[in-house]
Chains A and B, each alone.
Chain A
């Protein structure tokens, strides 16, 4: 009856801003970022990346309420920079880092594939349960999803 819509979890309401920045009235170079429709995944990641910056004095995040799918990020920086610039840098760095992670993973995947690891011979019933054709038959070879950018 009064249950929130299920898509409320990840769809930004029309007209709402993904991110709002409120400068802290009392703290110099401090700001609060409210990010809608994000959770610990991004909150913790940005916090961690911000802490690596020497210009960041404070970075912390919280999810104010489990039924509201928003994250609040508080950042304070030194006078050399501004919190929003630091968050932008953190996000850019994250994209680079994760891109590198992916590249290494794909390389390693190629290596693991080239290395033919003899698989354990399983009894026939286990390989094809109830005589169902193995799922492997239907998968085009080389379909790894590598390079396929998600539209999300």
Chain B
């Protein structure tokens, strides 16, 4: 076991820790901002940051399901991790209902509320196969998907006279997302023969109705991004956190070990038995810091004061994103890869604008020289 036994850190160690770790203190979090910059520390050498990045960068996929994913990005700056997270939430395009033409709506839900509810339904359609529809463009089969709803609620003739359960008493009292009928336009029918366009979930309740109420409408889906409206966001959420690290400066043994283990999320610290300094004792062992919720409970107790330090690894991001429970429009890895492509495209766009400017400046200088 290679564990530091010295109580006090040397200065170099402390600096190294401030550079690579976010320090979790009793009241607050310290050294939060990145300091991986030239001239930040006295022993700075000229570093080729690109080479450095390629050397230390690593990805680990921890969990991969169709619509859920957890992976580690190791060796990146928060700016990159955050840019990707923001893009996944707000800039990866999907299809969602944008325009609703209501022909008849006698339900108690107002037209605009109904339209809003319809807009939030996730639509199973590959956004790559559609174009963005610009404000004054007419709808075409390349930028619009049409759905229709024709629904009416009636009494169930087979219901008992004294029936009180609305499910049995009425027919069609729940308008569910399965009632959205796709109306293929142009060559959409052939194009999407293998994967008909539909709402992702069939059991989303849109409106509750009573006999005599009718809804007839046409809904147009358009391509959009989450920045415009959250209904276009492909993820239920995308987030990251830093990898927790629990440093034991001294062994914690005996009954204290049990108390220590109880300070953390279950499974983070285990109590084991073995020989420490020639004595057979119980001791605490950090097994799985990843699942710790970093409650700082251990710092509250006097007896652990000099024995434990909590930190988080500054460049180790545990990224998760899922659309399992809400959208399920796109595969999880596709959302991430799309975000990477979009980030690159944004950089290229700015680069083009900048080069344009530089050329302009050059031209102006030439003209000045001539005149």
- Assess whether B80 is in contact with A91, with CB atoms less than 8 Å apart: no
Residues of A within 8 A of B59 (CB): 101, 104-105, 107-108
Asked whether any CB of chain A lies closer than 8 Å to the CB of B50, the reply is: yes
Q: A42-B83, A91-B354 are in contact. Are A100 and B57 (CB under 8 A)?
A: yes
Q: A52-B49, A135-B328, A152-B342 are in contact. Are A91 and B347 (CB under 8 A)?
A: yes
Residues of B within 8 A of A146 (CB): 337
- Assess whether B340 is in contact with A105, with CB atoms less than 8 Å apart: yes
- Assess whether B354 is in contact with A19, with CB atoms less than 8 Å apart: yes
- Assess whether B57 is in contact with A101, with CB atoms less than 8 Å apart: yes
Q: A105-B337, A152-B345 are in contact. Are A19 and B57 (CB under 8 A)?
A: no
Interface residue tally on A, bucketed by range: 35 or more
Within the complex, the shortest CB–CB distance from B135 to chain A, in Å, comes to 6
Tell which of B128, B227, B336, B347 touches A105, judged by Cβ atoms closer than 8 Å. Answer: B336
Interface residue tally on B, bucketed by range: 35 or more
Once bound together, how far apart are the Cα atoms of A113 and B328, in whole Å?
20
Residues of A within 8 A of B344 (CB): 95, 98-99, 102
Once bound together, how far apart are the Cα atoms of A96 and B51, in whole Å?
11
Once bound together, how far apart are the Cα atoms of A146 and B36, in whole Å?
31
Tell which of A19, A48, A138, A145 touches B194, judged by Cβ atoms closer than 8 Å. Answer: A138
5 tightest Cβ-Cβ pairs between the two chains A and B: A48-B79, A18-B353, A145-B334, A19-B353, A138-B195
- Assess whether A96 is in contact with B346, with CB atoms less than 8 Å apart: no
Residues of A within 8 A of B (CB): 5-7, 9-11, 17-21, 35, 38-42, 44-49, 51-54, 84, 87-88, 91-102, 104-109, 111-113, 117, 119, 129-130, 132, 135-136, 138-140, 143-146, 148-150, 152
If over half of A's interface residues share one DSSP class (helix, strand or loop), that class is named, otherwise mixed; here it is helix
Tell which of A18, A19, A102 touches B340, judged by Cβ atoms closer than 8 Å. Answer: A102
Residues of B within 8 A of A (CB): 34, 36-39, 46, 49-50, 53-54, 57-61, 64-66, 71, 73, 76-80, 82-83, 86-87, 90-91, 124, 128, 134-135, 194-196, 200-203, 225, 227-229, 328, 331, 333-334, 336-338, 340-351, 353-355, 357-358
Interface centre among A101, A109, A111 (most CB of B within 10 A): A101
Q: A41-B83, A54-B46, A98-B344 are in contact. Are A87 and B124 (CB under 8 A)?
A: no
Chain A residue at smallest Cβ distance from B91:
A41
Residues of A within 8 A of B80 (CB): 45, 48, 97-98, 101
Tell which of A9, A35, A54, A130 touches B350, judged by Cβ atoms closer than 8 Å. Answer: A35
Tell which of B36, B200, B347 touches A98, judged by Cβ atoms closer than 8 Å. Answer: B347
